Structure 1
Amino acid sequence: MKKLILLLITILATMSILGCSSLFGKDTNTVIIGGKNFTEQDILIYLMKGVIEKNTNLKVETKAYLGGTSVVAQAIERGDLDIYAEYTGTALVNILGEEYVAPSSSEFVYEKVKKLYAEKKQIIWMKPLGFSNAYTLAMRADQANALSIQSMSDLAKQSGTLQLGATHEFLERVDGYENVKSIYDMKFESPAGMEPGLTYAACRDGNVDVIDAFSTDGRIIAFNLKVLDDDKHAFPPFDAAPLVRADTLKLHPEIADALNLLAGKINNEEMSKLNAKVDLDGKSPNVVANEWLSDNGFL
């Protein structure tokens, strides 16, 4: 009897440390969707959750704001996540460690990462969602128009008289400022390093003339900024698409059909508006995602 009691105590202690799911296996009728630590990723979690729960019998657990790219990429490879949304350029350069050869089309980069992920990571890329959250440079629209600056090549010609304010990460990344400076022969005298949350307002208020930006950030529209055309393709494409573990798809092939309902349905302007509803209007990502799904006939 004492041995039985000791055995039960041992089992209960193990369950408390590892969790029941670790002992008895993950619930195969539940999939886990995660995301990185910024607004857009949070919205995408709930968009994917909505179409999966509407079009399959699966339940979805969400894990938002897990961290940066490396954290989330490692989580899906370990099996801690089944699904998350990634960007083709990030996957190519930062995760796979491949060199970006400019210019490369969106289709070329997508097909390359899709193939390498399937072969090396057993992770499957779904169809692109329709928008590209690309690195870019931006200016106040009125200033850009007054100076006839439409593209980064236009900017380069006048860069010696303009002030660049950029995030520290952009200034330090090999595919960031040094890359743009080399390709376009930029002549900014003393780029100012800034925290990410300060650059957009600094540009709006005239404290700097040019900033690094993400093309779907809602503050671009709200602050009347102009995204400059990367006419020499210094930055790789950053097309967004859902990623799913191959073993998860083998168990639940219906996930692919559900997620691919979103393919091509969200353009850059639409994603910017969704981001702005969260960042500027204070709405929750869950509410914003479900409103969009409902308004567009997905729910």
Structure 2
Amino acid sequence: MRLITALLSTAMLTATPAMAIADPITVGGKNFTEQLILASMTSQYLEAAGHEVEMRDGMGTSVLRQAQENGQIDLYWEYTGTSLISYNKVTEDLSPEQAYERVKQLDGQKGLVWLDPSEANNTYALAMRKPQAEKLGITSISDLADVINNGTELVLASNATFYSRDDGLRPMQEMYGFEFGRRNVKRMDQGLTLTSLDQGAVDVAMTTATNGRIPALDLRVLEDDKQFFPDYALTPVVREETLDAHPDLAAQMNELSSLLDDETMASLNASVDVDRETIEDVAADFLKENELL
């Protein structure tokens, strides 16, 4: 009995240090400005909070999601609409609250936990130059539809994804009852759509709501008055196993999420895309301003 007790005690002592040392948290990110900022911000924040962190950013959307499902990525920021439509193939018309609850439930079955959503909603949007929009009396997509249906030809800049996806150009036009016409749609890289608009090469440009160049170029975002575009609430998503290994991680990420909204993300994005500050500096400055670094 003494021998068994001694062996058990030795085993527990040997196992304790191993159990106390959690694996590093691998933070992922997609390959565009907003996601690169968030990956750097999250990595710096968690390191300052005492975690060991590895960062793997600049990944494609599908590759990143697959890496998280496979356990290669522990944490990254995802958009509710992306998970709802692209990963879970849900096509129902859901409110923002319903969309969040649905992806939380569906992804939870895969061991992925959606934490508290931020107030940043990086959904698709249509933008125009303010002087032209005011001249034509356009403040919403319904106004845009009326102008085009009354015979005014306007040219749209779109990336290939928006042109073809299920929550993109074609179904949007069907809901609002108008059509640009094939010859009036110019497909290009997403990074060029607002540049083309600003230079007057097109009249309307697809963009995303938190694009930092919108305020920098003083553009008007048209109101989606029929609420066609799904909600793309920016939310930290973490593997359940990772949360089990790091009990304080959920509260820490929820605190960071509570600080983000459309205006904040647009400003951060503009600091990189317009003011040419480094991603690392922009992320660090934000954390310092909010006393998280």
TM-score range, shorter chain: 0.7 to 0.9
- Structure 1, unaligned stretches of length 5 or more? 1-23
* Equivalent residues in 2 for 1:213-228, closer than 5 Å: 213-228=207-222
How far apart, in 2, do the equivalents of 1:182 and 1:233 lie?
A: 13
Q: CA deviation at 1:197?
A: 2.4
- In structure 2, what is the equivalent of residue 265 of structure 1? 259
Q: How many residues align?
A: 269
Of the three residues 155, 164, 172, the one matched with 2:164 is: 172
- In structure 2, what is the equivalent of residue 33 of structure 1? 27
How far apart, in 1, do the equivalents of 2:279 and 2:219 lie?
A: 24
CA contact (8 A) 2:116 2:254 kept: yes
CA contact (8 A) 2:139 2:223 kept: yes
- In structure 1, what is the equivalent of residue 123 of structure 2? 134
Q: CA deviation at 1:187?
A: 2.6
How far apart, in 1, do the equivalents of 2:43 and 2:189 lie?
A: 32
Of the three residues 157, 166, 186, the one matched with 2:178 is: 186
Q: CA deviation at 1:29?
A: 3.6
- Structure 2, unaligned stretches of length 5 or more? 1-17
Matched, 1:65 2:58: yes
Q: CA deviation at 1:175?
A: 1.8
- In structure 1, what is the equivalent of residue 227 of structure 2? 233
Using structure 1 for the length normalisation, give the TM-score.
0.86
Q: CA deviation at 1:144?
A: 1.3
Code of the aligned partner of 1:158: V
How far apart, in 2, do the equivalents of 1:272 and 1:107 lie?
A: 23
Q: Say which SS state the counterpart of residue 197 (structure 1) adopts.
A: helix
Q: Say which SS state the counterpart of residue 97 (structure 1) adopts.
A: coil
Superposition CA RMSD, Å: 1.5
CA contact (8 A) 1:93 1:100 kept: no
- In structure 2, what is the equivalent of residue 284 of structure 1? 278
- In structure 1, what is the equivalent of residue 103 of structure 2? 113
Q: Say which SS state the counterpart of residue 64 (structure 1) adopts.
A: strand
Code of the aligned partner of 2:246: H
Q: Say which SS state the counterpart of residue 200 (structure 1) adopts.
A: helix
- In structure 1, what is the equivalent of residue 68 of structure 2? 76
Identity among equivalent positions (%) equals 40
Matched, 1:85 2:74: no
- In structure 1, what is the equivalent of residue 46 of structure 2? 52
- In structure 2, what is the equivalent of residue 8 of structure 1? none
Q: CA deviation at 1:181?
A: 0.7
How far apart, in 2, do the equivalents of 1:142 and 1:224 lie?
A: 10
How far apart, in 2, do the equivalents of 1:66 and 1:192 lie?
A: 27
How far apart, in 2, do the equivalents of 1:52 and 1:194 lie?
A: 37
Q: Say which SS state the counterpart of residue 128 (structure 2) adopts.
A: strand
How far apart, in 1, do the equivalents of 2:55 and 2:64 lie?
A: 13
